[in-house]
Amino acid sequence: MQRKEKGIKDFVLLDKIDENSFVANLKTRFEDNAIYTYVGEVVVSVNPYKKLPIYGPEEIARYRGKYVFEPNINPHVYALTDTAYTAMKFKGIDQCIIISGESGAGKTEASKVIMQYIAAVENTNHNTEVDRVKEQLLRTNPVLEAFGNAKTNRNDNSSRFGKYMDIQFNFSGEPVGGHVTTYLLEKSRVNHQEKGERNFHIFYQLLAGGPTGDLQLQKDATKYPYLNKGGTVKVGSVDDAADFKEMKGGMDFIGFTADQQNNIFKVLGAILHLGLVEFAADEKDGSKVSTKPVLETIAKILGTTPAAIETGLSHKTIISGGNVISSPLTPDKAVYSRDALARQMYQRLFSWMIDRINEKVHTPHGEIKNVIGVLDIYGFEIFESNSFEQFCINYCNEKLQQLFIELTLKTEQEEYMKEGIQWTPIEFFNNRIICDLIEKKPGGIISLLDEDCMRPGDKSDKAWLEKLQSGIGAHAHFVTKKGHGDKTFPDNSFKLVHYAGDVFYNVNGFIDKNVDAFFKDLAQVMFESKNPLLREMFPDGDKATWKNAGKMPPTAGTAFKTSMNEMIATLNTKAPSYIRCIKPNDRKSAGVFDEDRVRHQVRYLGLLENVRVRRAGFCFRAESSAPATYPHWRGDARSGVKAILDHLKLDAKEYQMGKTKLFVKNPKTVFTFEEERENIIPKYVTKIQSWWRVIRVRRRIREYFEKLQQTFANIKKDPNFGKGTRWPAIPHPVLKNAESTLKSVHANWRAKRMVLSLSPERQDLLRKKCLGSTFFTSKRPWNLQRDWTGNYIPALGLAARSSAIFRGHGDKEVVFADEVLKYSRGARPDRRMLIVGDANIYKLDPAFKVTPKRVMSIKQIKAISVSPNKASVAVIHSTQPGFDTILDLGVSGQDRLSEFVVLTYLAARKAGHKFAVNVVDTIQYNNAENPQKPTQTVVFQASPRALKPGQPSTLKKGSTNTLFYAP
Ligand SMILES: Nc1ncnc2c1ncn2[C@@H]1O[C@H](COP(=O)(O)OP(=O)(O)OP(=O)(O)O)[C@@H](O)[C@H]1O
């Protein structure tokens, strides 16, 4: 059971829909550590700036397969992910989860929570590949963050690139791959950081924990101009060395080889050294490097020559009409070219790494059934000084807001119109107008920028600003000083009135950043280096490609615009879910809820409008919850709805019937409605779950039997009749009994087949041995393997002699005959020939006198007792008092005792008589031929003296007789 959170879990249920109530509910919940709240299916998340105990396997289990609105379950990103996952798995619809909010609001953290949930998806088929992919997906994070995130003034771990990740699933709903698309890396950070900010994490990690010796780097980050522009090289709680280790572990797991990693570190090291390169004017109009040792270090690390780099940095080479034109650069311009090289190296390294990650986490296409995309892209940001990057980032956020409007506010309201519901449209600000202002072609800001960049002759940011003023100065969302700006309006700037707030953009650098010029000679130096990674990163440095260099590549602005439109198109093909992140304060502090800051975000995110529109559509989800209709209703839909309304005794003013849907006005009504449904649903959920379980088990049972059938399909042809065949594992414990029954059925069948495959004689023998088994197995040692001959005295001419005896007593055949020892009353062993006929037992003396020594009718055998050890002695108990006989059947050294007992038993049975066969330690007998004499007792002992194999037992008389046998 989860704890009960304070406040209202879904804003749709708020009594009063206004900003104050909305913010108050957020605050109540925030102070109760309840950071997630719904607006219908949208999750609003407030950054707690502290670790909360609401994540991890136990929490994940709570949300697995649950209905989002089930009672007693608190709102969570897990719930949203589960809903998306379930829809993906069972309806086969691609999903996307769009996470938005300003910088530091918690988007990246939310995306990690989603990944956690997905990585916990059950691997039902125990596919090791699935486990590997899950781990890879998780392990890409520290790598991406190290290279793509940095400390900004808004967020200590700010994503400086946009990330869209498709998680790919197979038919069983298991993650089998992933694909990352990145958008505009803020590469200017490689050379420059604002005060209080840092370069990308990876540089500081490399110095703290990487192979600095090999790269001739010092551990102190303040020594590197590229790392120290913001005056901050350390972030409070961050342990760069530990982060390096985690990042490297990620690289290892994803599959970056040691060589690849070394080359990556070399590129990073070279960038840091590049920052130390300085220039002086040379004798002509050009420049030369004044820090030669640094140049040598770079050349060494990158596998090139100092001269090549120097020439590359101090010259500008362009291709015009197929001609290569090279001209020297002044020291100022050379610095620019140095920084451009550093940026290019970093950006291309980043892209190269993303490509490798995609290669490694890729699944062959055929196995992918659906995807869940997660979009975690830089949030709306306003800095003191905002440049081209902020312009792009904020434009991206406008596009996402537009998508949100399209998918939620607009579409839903259009639905009411379509349904013919009387509806007062809810006002919301549609930011389409701002998107147009930026991206329209011709005439939009990007288009005007491109025009200036392309035009021949000198270009200046200021001239472009003028152009903007004259072109779009009248636009309601565009302001310049010259336009309606006042005195405080900063110079060289324009202001955009974004949906999320006003932002002043300083035009300095827009043209350069948009053209993103990179001179061919530098690309060539990189391409021709000995480092294979650089060769891959700079294919445009291959001179062979210069001749037919086609048209100019698109500008950075246009390329970004294109990538944004592609991104929106991708998202549009999927069913979206939203996480709207809110930043509670600007101090990155836990427990501080700055109401004004929050109110501002609630406003620009359009959350209130979202609630209003949702509320009207709320009952979409409550289609059928009256006892009469839930879960079965056999009438038509409209009268079913009527039945529900009657059950609720709803006032006619409270609702409207649409063409296909019901619209309820007051959320209070809906709430009771909802509450009732909440009570009904768990019951049916349980029921459905148990049905489902039964169906699933049945399906698995069927599969098991199919497998079984396949396994034993050719069993009859198997010489062993399936003896060594492996049985398929049972899929569920309910099959345990069935399995053991089946196994014994199989064993019986097999035994029968084995028997039937034998000759009639062998079958007969087997049957006899089976009987022996019931007498002796696990009671005394006996030799099952022996052949049973029955008559062991054939050479004695018995046939002739015995026929006379037989005829005299009515026997027709010899059942068993062997030489034995018979113990006399005085315990003397006498040799005798024992003959068991089908009616009588005879004891002849060894000379085979015709007269039998003794005759006993088989029907007189009361029992035969044998010992539980190796003694080969049997006591035949007679029904005639005093006539018990002690025989040792071990003369031959073979175990003929068992044979004797079984054959005699069968002969008796044939004659219609039954006797007992006892296996006991102590045998009572009477052989005194005088019924008055007391019964005697014999016990068995292993002989203390060595007896030769086959040497018979000896009987020692005493108060209790003792029989010594060869152990
Ligand atoms: N759910 C959470 N639990 C605990 N801390 C959080 C949570 N969400 C965010 N934070 C904290 O806030 C910081 C900023 O969050 P995050 O990096 O996710 O912001 P963001 O919206 O992705 O920002 P940006 O747009 O700058 O990348 C995190 O580093 C973390 O310290």
pLDDT in the model for residue 819: 87
831 and 932, same structural domain? yes
pLDDT in the model for residue 620: 39
- Has 79 been labeled as part of a binding site? no
* Rounded Cα–Cα distance for residues 430 and 704 (Å): 58
Which residue owns the Cα nearest ligand 1 atom 11?
49
Amino acid, single-letter form, for residue 422: Q
Establish if 248 belongs to a structural domain: no
* Rounded Cα–Cα distance for residues 913 and 187 (Å): 105
Give the ligand 1 atom nearest the CA of 379: 25
Checking if the pLDDT of 622 tops 60, the result is no
Q: How far is the CA of 142 from the centre of ligand 1 (A)?
A: 14
* Test site for ligand 1: of 33, 55, 155, most ligand atoms within 8 A of the Cβ: 155
Which residue owns the Cα nearest ligand 1 atom 30?
49
Which of 416-425, 785-794, 866-875 is modeled with the greatest confidence? Answer: 866-875
pLDDT in the model for residue 282: 85
* Test site for ligand 1: of 49, 198, 243, 579, most ligand atoms within 8 A of the Cβ: 49
Confidence of residue 725 (pLDDT cuts 50, 70, 90): confident
678 and 634, same structural domain? yes
Establish if 44 belongs to a structural domain: no
Task: Provide the 8-state DSSP code for 405.
Answer: I
Q: How far is the CA of 47 from the centre of ligand 1 (A)?
A: 7
Percent of the chain with pLDDT over 70: 88
Give the ligand 1 atom nearest the CA of 581: 21
Amino acid, single-letter form, for residue 204: Y
Of residues 164 and 883, more confidence is placed in 164
Task: Dihedral sign for Cα 505, 506, 510, 513, please.
Answer: negative
728 and 799, same structural domain? no
pLDDT in the model for residue 49: 94
Amino acid, single-letter form, for residue 927: N
* Rounded Cα–Cα distance for residues 855 and 904 (Å): 14
Amino acid, single-letter form, for residue 900: F
Sequence-separated (6 or more) residues with CB below 8 Å from residue 720: none
Percent of the chain with pLDDT over 90: 35
Which residue owns the Cα nearest ligand 1 atom 6?
49
- Beta strand 162-169 with 370-376 is antiparallel
Confidence of residue 438 (pLDDT cuts 50, 70, 90): very high
Amino acid, single-letter form, for residue 29: R
Checking if the pLDDT of 593 tops 90, the result is yes
pLDDT in the model for residue 898: 93
For Cα atoms 507, 511, 515, give the angle at the middle one, nearest 5 degrees: 150
User: Quick one: which of 279, 299, 281 has its CA closest to 525?
Assistant: 299
8 Å CB contact between 494 and 479 = yes
Task: Provide the 8-state DSSP code for 153.
Answer: S
pLDDT in the model for residue 947: 66
Among 31-35, 609-613, 763-767, 944-948, which stretch is predicted with the lowest mean pLDDT?
944-948
Of residues 921 and 794, more confidence is placed in 921
- Has 106 been labeled as part of a binding site? yes
Establish if 598 belongs to a structural domain: no
735 and 830, same structural domain? no
**Residue 818, strand partner residues:** 834
Task: Dihedral sign for Cα 906, 908, 912, 916, please.
Answer: negative
Task: Provide the 8-state DSSP code for 232.
Answer: -
Task: Dihedral sign for Cα 261, 262, 265, 271, please.
Answer: negative
Which residue owns the Cα nearest ligand 1 atom 25?
103
Checking if the pLDDT of 133 tops 80, the result is yes
For residue 219, give both structure tokens.
Answer: 């551990």
pLDDT in the model for residue 540: 84
Query: How many angstroms separate the most distant Cα atoms in the chain?
Result: 149
Checking if the pLDDT of 805 tops 80, the result is no
* Rounded Cα–Cα distance for residues 891 and 820 (Å): 6
Sequence-separated (6 or more) residues with CB below 8 Å from residue 465: 480, 492, 493, 494, 507
Amino acid, single-letter form, for residue 93: I
Across the beta sheet with 370-376, the strand order is: 36-39, 42-46, 575-582, 95-100, 370-376, 162-169, 175-183
* Rounded Cα–Cα distance for residues 164 and 179 (Å): 8
Strands (E), 867-953: 873-878, 885-888, 916-919, 922-925, 936-942
Q: How far is the CA of 109 from the centre of ligand 1 (A)?
A: 5
pLDDT in the model for residue 833: 85
**Residue 611: other Cβ atoms inside 10 A:** 28
Checking if the pLDDT of 771 tops 60, the result is yes
Number of domains in the chain: 3
717 and 696, same structural domain? no
User: Quick one: which of 396, 410, 594, 389 has its CA closest to 500?
Assistant: 396
Please report, for the domain that includes residue 696, its CATH number. 3.30.70
**What pLDDT digit, counting tens, does each position of 679-698 carry?**
666 676 677 777 777 888 88
Sequence-separated (6 or more) residues with CB below 8 Å from residue 755: 763, 766
* Rounded Cα–Cα distance for residues 844 and 343 (Å): 116
Give the ligand 1 atom nearest the CA of 35: 1
For residue 700, give both structure tokens.
Answer: 């698995």
Q: How far is the CA of 588 from the centre of ligand 1 (A)?
A: 9
696 and 647, same structural domain? yes
Q: How far is the CA of 106 from the centre of ligand 1 (A)?
A: 3
* Rounded Cα–Cα distance for residues 42 and 611 (Å): 10
User: Quick one: which of 192, 190, 214 has its CA closest to 203?
Assistant: 190
Which of 195-199, 235-239, 380-384, 943-947 is modeled with the greatest confidence? Answer: 195-199
Range of the domain at 751: 712-756
Which residue owns the Cα nearest ligand 1 atom 3?
51
Q: How far is the CA of 242 from the centre of ligand 1 (A)?
A: 19
771 and 727, same structural domain? no
898 and 751, same structural domain? no
- Has 912 been labeled as part of a binding site? no
Q: Among all chains, which residue has been given the structure tokens 């840091």?
A: 272
Give the ligand 1 atom nearest the CA of 105: 21
8 Å CB contact between 427 and 535 = no
Cis-peptide into 75, omega within 30 deg: no
Task: Dihedral sign for Cα 7, 11, 17, 21, please.
Answer: positive
- Has 297 been labeled as part of a binding site? no
Task: Provide the 8-state DSSP code for 156.
Answer: T
Checking if the pLDDT of 623 tops 60, the result is no
Establish if 374 belongs to a structural domain: no
* Rounded Cα–Cα distance for residues 718 and 697 (Å): 32
For residue 523, give both structure tokens.
Answer: 């690309």
**Residue 830, strand partner residues:** 822
* Test site for ligand 1: of 36, 43, 44, 47, most ligand atoms within 8 A of the Cβ: 47
Cis-peptide into 931, omega within 30 deg: no
Q: How far is the CA of 160 from the centre of ligand 1 (A)?
A: 13
Q: How far is the CA of 514 from the centre of ligand 1 (A)?
A: 30
For residue 573, give both structure tokens.
Answer: 């093909």
Considering 725, 756, 787, which residue would you say is the last residue of a domain?
756
- Has 104 been labeled as part of a binding site? yes
DSSP 622-672: -TT-STTTSS---S-HHHHHHHHHHHHT--GGGEEE-SS-EEE--HHHHHH
Establish if 474 belongs to a structural domain: no
Establish if 593 belongs to a structural domain: no
Considering 701, 725, 743, which residue would you say is the last residue of a domain?
701
Establish if 119 belongs to a structural domain: no
Which residue owns the Cα nearest ligand 1 atom 8?
106
846 and 927, same structural domain? yes
Give the ligand 1 atom nearest the CA of 159: 27
Confidence of residue 799 (pLDDT cuts 50, 70, 90): low
**What pLDDT digit, counting tens, does each position of 56-111 carry?**
988 998 888 776 656 678 999 999 999 999 889 888 889 999 998 888 999 999 99
Give the ligand 1 atom nearest the CA of 154: 26
Give the ligand 1 atom nearest the CA of 377: 25
pLDDT in the model for residue 631: 60
Establish if 349 belongs to a structural domain: no
Task: Provide the 8-state DSSP code for 726.
Answer: P
* Rounded Cα–Cα distance for residues 535 and 539 (Å): 6
pLDDT in the model for residue 619: 39
Please report, for the domain that includes residue 793, its CATH number. 2.30.29.30
Q: Can you say how many angstroms the Cα of residue 619 is from the centroid of all Cα atoms in its chain?
A: 35
pLDDT in the model for residue 548: 64
Calculate the alpha carbon distances from 476 to 427, 433, 479, 488 in Å: 19, 9, 8, 19
784 and 752, same structural domain? no
Q: How far is the CA of 345 from the centre of ligand 1 (A)?
A: 28
Average pLDDT over residues 813-830: 84
* Test site for ligand 1: of 46, 54, 157, 396, most ligand atoms within 8 A of the Cβ: 157
Checking if the pLDDT of 933 tops 80, the result is no
**Residue 125: other Cβ atoms inside 10 A:** 11
948 and 829, same structural domain? yes
* Rounded Cα–Cα distance for residues 380 and 497 (Å): 13
Average pLDDT over residues 698-718: 87
Checking if the pLDDT of 355 tops 80, the result is yes
Which residue owns the Cα nearest ligand 1 atom 9?
106
- Has 606 been labeled as part of a binding site? no
pLDDT in the model for residue 690: 79
907 and 831, same structural domain? yes
The pocket around ligand 1, CB under 6 angstroms, is made up of: 47-52, 101, 103-109, 154-159, 378-379, 581
Checking if the pLDDT of 519 tops 80, the result is no
Which residue owns the Cα nearest ligand 1 atom 15?
106
Enzyme catalytic residues: 103-104, 108, 155, 158-159, 379, 381
**What pLDDT digit, counting tens, does each position of 837-889 carry?**
888 888 877 766 556 666 689 999 999 999 998 888 999 999 988 888 899 88
